[in-house]
Every structure is written in structure tokens, then in C-alpha cells.
Amino acid sequence: MVRLRDMLRGGAWLTRGRIRLVAALILIASAAGLLYLVVTANGVIDAQGRPLGTDFSNVYAAGTYVLDGDPEAPFDPSRQHAREQDIFGKATPFYGWHYPPFFLFVAAILALLPYGLALALWQAATLGLYLLTIRAILPTPLRSRWIASPDWLLPALAFPAVLINIGHGQNGFLTAALLGAALVKLNRAPVLAGVLFGLLAYKPQFGLLIPVALAAGGRWRAFAAAAATVGALAVATTFAFGPQVWQAFLDSTRFTREVALEQGDTGWYKIQSVFAWVRMWGGSIALAYALQGALIGALAGALIWLWRSAAPYPVKAAALCLAAILATPYTFDYDMMVLAPAIAFLAANGLKRGFGPWEKTALAGLWLAPLVGRSVAHLTLIPLGAPAMLATFVLLLRRSTKDFGVTMAFSDPPITITPSTPRGHDIAVFKP
């Protein structure tokens, strides 16, 4: 037992050969599963009577309403379901439209194409953006060795959330690409980074703590660009669809909150949040909100400290990715695509500065979490996704506190006293 603990703590078990082997096996199994789903389908309807890319059906149906000149209809659950049944058959389950009106632009463009082609193009295009983002995060020697090097491409493609995202026809690739690319560009092109952050407004639950980190780090150009982007999207949406679309959206949030979130109509085991964890274990709605709110406060405080500290930028970026998904009570296992840039940033930092105790094992657990999170929670009521993300976040903060000290954030430039330095002696000064 002691030997196992030491092995997990040091991470020596996580070799390049084992990473490649496990990733290759998961990728082969994923490809086989997706191929089976397609070849057993009847047109665009799978063997279980669902549209291929299940959740993508709500995007496509909403897009057809926009093309018909009725952009408010997708926000009415009964009308949305009726359109889905018109397109895919009367036995089609309900796939709700829970996006803000911004995303109607994308839905309308995709609805111009036949369903199968729209689904394939959407997944292929956003998968490409995701892969480019992961490659950009990694250290130059690793990604320039070979553009399709198995050292980065194989784990990125085999990441279990990739299969879940494709199977659901979801937008996790786009979310991961926007957040990851914004963090890549933040130092060198803050305005562009802000625009990318602003585009994340199509899934606003992931943007809750982004302004906190940007403000704490003094990234005001990015902050302003993000705000301007959201404002421009709002103006364009109002101009294109009319002001009434916003009332339709606001009315629909009650259904999303009460049915999809509070009652867990989609299944608590699918939702990877502290809120769902509490509800799955029989906790009340009030308790679930209280604990989720306490977590949001703790995450905000941690980000403020970290983004004002002298910690390496990849650590700050990974922390924001983790905090973004932990902060929202409404996140599914396909949304765990956001963990991919977090893993890449932490791997890049570890390759440059060395990995601390438990870090390799934590990254491996985070990478595997989407593979088993839903099934284990369904069978045993034991959540794995949220605990894995929390553990990695705490480990990240612990190392930052130990290695990079406590920053006196209100000095200019910030002054950091490292733990190894006696107070009053050899104060090191770091620029943000």
C-alpha cells in the first residue's frame, strides 16, 4: 500500500508508452462505437429511435424556425418539441433549446444544410478548432516536432469527452477552443482574447468567473473587448430577430432552471457539478444552491489571489478553465471538454518546471474522468467528475502557495515573499 501511494504521488507510472497505449485503445474503441452508431442507423435516426447527434437536433430545429421567420419559437418547449418531431419523427424525444438568442445565428446557418451534412460539418469544424487550440497551448518543442505528433495529438483526440461530445452532437469543442484560444492570446493579443472571451456568451454559464480573473490580473483591454463583443452580439441579435426574442429567452430560463436543473429531468448522473452532487444524494434545492454558491465564492477568491500572484501563467490559465466549469451548476459530461485546455496548460507547465507530488496522477484522473463519470454515478451514485476537478484545483493552489509565495497584490509592481525567504530579507519583485 505504501509503495502504491509513493508511485501515485511521484507519478513515475505515467510513462509516454502507457499514455500512448491507453489513448490508442480508447480512440479505437470510440471510433468503433461511433461507426456502429452510424452503420446501424436508419438515415439520420439511430437504432434507438433518436436523431444521430441527439442534442444537435435542437440546434437544427431551432435554425429552421429562424429560417421560417419565427426566432421566438425555439424558446417555447412545446413548439420546439413539435418541430423536432416534424423533422425526425413522432417518436423523437424532446431536446430542449437552452441557449441565449446569440446562438440562433449559428443554428440558422446550419439549418440551411441537410441534417447529416450540417452535423458532420459542425463537429469536424469545431473539432479542428479544438485541436489547433491544444497544439497552441503546448510547449514549442513538443508541437513543432511534428504537426501530428502522437505525443499531443493522440491524447487530445482520445480524450473521452471527445467521444461524448461527438455522440451528442454538442458544442464542447467550440467552448474549449474559445476559452483555450483566448487564454493563449491574452498576453500577446489582449483585444483578440477579449473578443474570444465575449463569444463564449453563447454559453454564459461558463463566463461567470472570467471577468473576475481578468480584473484581478489587470487585463483591462481584454475585459473591455469582451464586454464590447457581448454588447455587439446583443445589438446584432436585437436587430436581426427583434427585441421580443429576449423576452422569449428570459421566459424559457424558468423551464431550464426548474426542470432541467432543479428537478434533474435529464438525470443527475449526467450533470457534473456540486449542485447535482447534492441533489443526487437527496439534498434539498436550497442546500444545493447554498453549497454551489459557497463554491463560487471560494473559486472567485482563489482566482483573485492566483491571478494577482507571481504564479506561472499556464497555472493561472488552467485554474480559470477549472473554475469556469466548477462554478456553473449546469454542466454536463460533454462540457468537460473545457478540461482539455486545463490539462494542456498544466502539462506545459509541468514539462517546463517539473511536476509536483500527485500532479501527474491528478492529470491522468482528470483526463479519464469523462470516461467513467456518468456510468459510475448512474450505477453507484458516486460522483467522479466534480471531485476530480476540485482535487486538481486544490492541488494547483497548494503548489502555487508553496512554490510562488504570497503576493502583496496592491503594490506596484506586485511584491512576492517566497516561503523560503525570511521576512524582511531578500524580497523578490516580480512583474505581472
**pLDDT tens, residue by residue, 67-123:** 999 999 999 999 999 999 999 999 999 999 999 999 999 999 999 999 999 999 999
DSSP 8-state symbol, 324: H
- State the alpha helices, DSSP H only, in 145-273: 153-158, 160-168, 172-185, 190-199, 210-216, 220-241, 244-255
**Region 256-284 average pLDDT:** 92
Name the residue among 62, 72, 63 with its Cα closest to residue 244.
72
User: In 10 A of CB 3, how many CB atoms?
Assistant: 7
- Does residue 47 lie in a domain region? yes
Domain count, the chain: 1
- Does residue 237 lie in a domain region? yes
The burial of 24, by beta-carbon neighbours within 10 Å (0-12 exposed, 13-18 middle, 19 or more buried), is given as middle
- Residue 22's pLDDT band (cuts 50, 70, 90): very high
Omega before residue 243 within 30° of 0, cis: no
User: In 10 A of CB 178, how many CB atoms?
Assistant: 28
Name the residue among 212, 217, 137, 147 with its Cα closest to residue 176.
137
Is the pLDDT assigned to residue 130 strictly greater than 80?
yes
- State the alpha helices, DSSP H only, in 40-171: 56-67, 77-88, 104-110, 115-137, 140-144, 153-158, 160-168
- Does residue 2 lie in a domain region? no
DSSP 8-state symbol, 273: S
pLDDT digits (tens, 9 = 90+) for 374-396: 999 999 999 999 999 999 999 99
pLDDT digits (tens, 9 = 90+) for 411-429: 334 444 444 333 332 222 2
**pTM for the predicted model, two decimal places:** 0.90
- Does residue 228 lie in a domain region? yes
Q: Which of 20-24, 129-133, 356-360 has the lowest mean pLDDT?
A: 356-360
- Does residue 276 lie in a domain region? yes
Is the pLDDT assigned to residue 142 strictly greater than 60?
no
CA 108, 113, 115, 119 dihedral sign is: negative
- How many C-alpha atoms does 72 have within 13 Å on its Cβ side? 10
Q: What pLDDT does residue 80 have?
A: 97
Domain that holds residue 363: 15-429
- Does residue 136 lie in a domain region? yes
- Does residue 9 lie in a domain region? no
Residues with Cβ within 8 Å of 205's Cβ and at least 6 positions away in sequence, in order, are 327, 328, 329, 330, 331
Q: Which of 353-357, 397-401, 405-409 has the lowest mean pLDDT?
A: 405-409
**Region 14-18 average pLDDT:** 88
Residues of the chain with pLDDT > 90, as a percent, come to 79
- Does residue 310 lie in a domain region? yes
Is the pLDDT assigned to residue 219 strictly greater than 70?
yes
Is the pLDDT assigned to residue 161 strictly greater than 70?
yes
DSSP 8-state symbol, 51: B
